[in-house]
Amino acid sequence: MAKRGRKRKKGLREPNGRLSRAKHPPVTFDKGTERVQAMQALYGQDGADAIGRAYRAGLLGNGSEAKAMLDTARKISNAYWQAYETGRYTCTLADRQSGSVVDLDHERIRKREEWISEVLDFVAAMGHDVRRAFEQLVIDVHPDQGPPWLDGLLWADQHNKRQDIAHVSQLRRALDPLSLLSSGG
């Protein structure tokens, strides 16, 4: 005859048969792989996106101008993904949609969408190559690595090698509109 129910958990038990709660293993924190720890050491909390890695490597410049470019880029990225991400999650089992029931400020959402549209039109007016480099650095999601030209620049910087001129020109294309937008121009 087969056993019924689920498997019994292993461990010390109390007299009543319940798992003992007296001795728990010590809490340990997973710090990630060696690569993750090295990235954390290099970039800190700014390593989670391409613009943050470029900022920490000094590729945006120095001082308050670089910080303004970083802040502007993140503001653009956040507005873009809030405006253009896919809709709400739907349930395949019911006719309901999940999400919050918080009243939305439709005027603020409309203004943000108009602003991001103006920003993207401004960048697009500078040419296709500029828009593509800008999107790769600011908008596209690159949590661990990428775009390839930025990875090449960061690698050359870390290993004291000469930077590829094509990678440098891609960075300039991406930073031209960003510097104008961050300075209010």
pLDDT digits (tens, 9 = 90+) for 25-65: 677 888 889 999 999 999 999 999 999 999 999 999 999 99
Instruction: Report the C-alpha dihedral over residues 122, 126, 127, 131, rounded to 10 degrees.
Output: -60
Instruction: Answer whether residue 58 is part of any domain.
Output: no
**Structural domain harbouring 158:** 64-84+106-185
Q: Kindly state whether residue 12 falls inside one of the protein's structural domains.
A: no
Q: Which long-range contacts (CB under 8 A, 24 or more apart) does 157-165 make?
A: 157/57, 157/58, 157/59, 158/42
Alpha helices in 16-147 (DSSP H): 34-43, 50-56, 63-84, 106-124, 128-134
User: pTM, whole model, 2 decimals?
Assistant: 0.77
Q: How far apart are CA 183 and CA 39, in angstroms?
A: 30
- Which pLDDT score is estimated for 84? 85
**Residues 76-134: tens digit of each pLDDT:** 999 999 888 766 666 666 665 555 556 678 899 899 999 999 999 999 999 999 999 99
135: in domain: yes
Residue 50 included in any domain: no
pLDDT in tens, 119-139: 999 999 999 999 999 999 999
Structural domains of the chain, count? 1
6-36: per-residue pLDDT in tens?
A: 888 888 888 998 888 886 667 788 888 999 9
In a domain? residue 15: no
Residue 49 lies in a domain: no
Q: Do the domain assignments include residue 40?
A: no
Q: Is residue 131 situated within a structural domain?
A: yes
How many residues make up the chain in this entry? 185
